[in-house]
Amino acid sequence: MPTYDVAVLGGGPGGYVAAIRAVKRGAKTCCIEADKIGGVCLNVGCIPSKAMLHAGEVFSHIKRAGDYGFSVPGAPSVNGAAYMNRVHGVVDVVRGGVEKLLKARGVDVIRGRGRLVARDALDVKTDAGAQQVMAKAIIVATGSRPARPKFLPFSSGRVWTTDEAFAATALPESVVIMGGGVIGCEFATMYSELGIPTTLIEMLGSVVAQCDDDICKAVHRSLKARGVKVLLGTKVAGMKATAAGVEAQLEGGQTIAASCALVAVGRPPNVEDIGLETVGVKLQDKVIQVDDRCRTSVEGIYAVGDCAETRQYAHLASRMGVVAADQATGHTETRDRRDVVPIGIYTHPEVASVGLTEAEARKAGRKVRVARFFYLASGMARAYGDTEGQVKLIADEELGEILGAVVIGQHATDVIQEIALAMRQELTVEELAGTIHPHPTFVEGVMEAAEAWLGVPVHAAT
């Protein structure tokens, strides 16, 4: 019976990072994974979606070649099989790199489905049979899965979740997307940029409704500009598979036909049948309860990522993995409030945010001042030929404390990190404005917005 200092249940971005960190802290560590190393992010999430989105951006640039002084004979077209083959190749390479990294670091990877049977023991079902693993500390990193509403005809093969969409060997002829959250909007961007007729259905009154209002408007505007038919405040009452694809019946009687449907209506955490109830780990709203040290209600058991957080971001899972591994190996000074978490949506334009939205800051009773710098005034944006976007700072009017920020436009997901670091280190808007930024860059828009907030803008409109 193998015995470890740390056993990690799950090999996604929270789990494999936790395992490597534990080894670097001197612990004998194993990582138990029933499926593919890399979890959702690497295999059916972040990596394949970004490969698809970048390819779509390249296709858009080819169509705009004349704007840059190039002549492209004929109209560009998409080879769906080659397009998806590249996506799969990117995933294979990245996953192979993570597997080699785990091996090089000395993590024992156990292929099988693990289940907690005691505070310090897991049963693992492998192809070779069952085995028990003992560990002084256990880190649960079981992730999440796509929701599959029972009224939808998944057995037809015409209704996909992200799992099937990323595994596909060809592109759909047309698509109806259920869900206007981050995943739904990214897929609508991917498909529409390739010229695929796309309808997006969202039951709420806005796409990406959890975001700052400026982001909601920018994403909606972007989708419509790319020809996406966006139906807000609309519910799918039923769906049937046909010889040609699917027909979605909407409340109110309208029918939408497409060659396939993509369902992106949430991701339940994987907390069932892993033994949590056996050892007494507490849940809240089907998510494992953890504190700022990723400790569960049971001493010696930690949890990270989608199974322990409602904000399902790979980078948050990885940071939690670091915290949990440090705690499990006696480095108890490592902790995290998890209140400064930058997020990105990789539509075109990209959008990103950190901290409070403007509405949340005002609702919290803060005296808020907002300042913006628009990409129209950015030399780098002009050089790129893409001036859509802005940097928006949300700060306390009296203290200059940065409460939140929004970035819309090229490289938004890179630019937001400077503001996240400033918030993490409790810097003020004035300190942002006083930091020399390289020129020309997109990130200098942060300095420009900070100067506008202080009332001394150089390039920003007052």
Distances (CA, A) of 162 to 86, 106, 168, 242, 440: 17, 32, 10, 21, 38
Write a three-state SS string for 386-436: CCCCEEEEEEECCCCEEEEEEEECCCHHHHHHHHHHHHHCCCEHHHHHCCC
Cα–Cα distance measured from residue 22 to residue 5, given in angstroms and rounded to the nearest whole number: 9
Mind spelling out the 3-state secondary structure of the chain?
Answer: CCEEEEEEECCCCCHHHHHHHHHHCCCCEEEEECCCCCHHHHHHCHHHHHHHHHHHHHHHHHHCHHHHCCCCCCCCCCCHHHHHHHHHHHHHHHHHHHHHHHHHHCCEEEECEEEEEECCEEEEEECCEEEEEEEEEEEECCCECCCCCCCCCHHHCCEECHHHHHHCCCCCCCEEEECCCHHHHHHHHHHHHCCCCEEEEECCCCCCCCCCHHHHHHHHHHHHHCCCEEEECCCEEEEEECCCCEEEEECCCCEEEECEEEECCCCCECCCCCCHHHHCCCEECCEECCCCCCECCCCCEEECHHHCCCCCCHHHHHHHHHHHHHHHCCCCCCCCCCCCCCEEECCCCCEEEEECCHHHHHHCCCCEEEEEEEHHHCHHHHHHCCCCCEEEEEEECCCCEEEEEEEECCCHHHHHHHHHHHHHCCCEHHHHHCCCCCCCCCCHHHHHHHHHHHCCCCCCCC
Residues belonging to the chain: 462
Residues annotated catalytic, as ranges: 439
CA–CA separation, 216 vs 358, rounded Å? 13
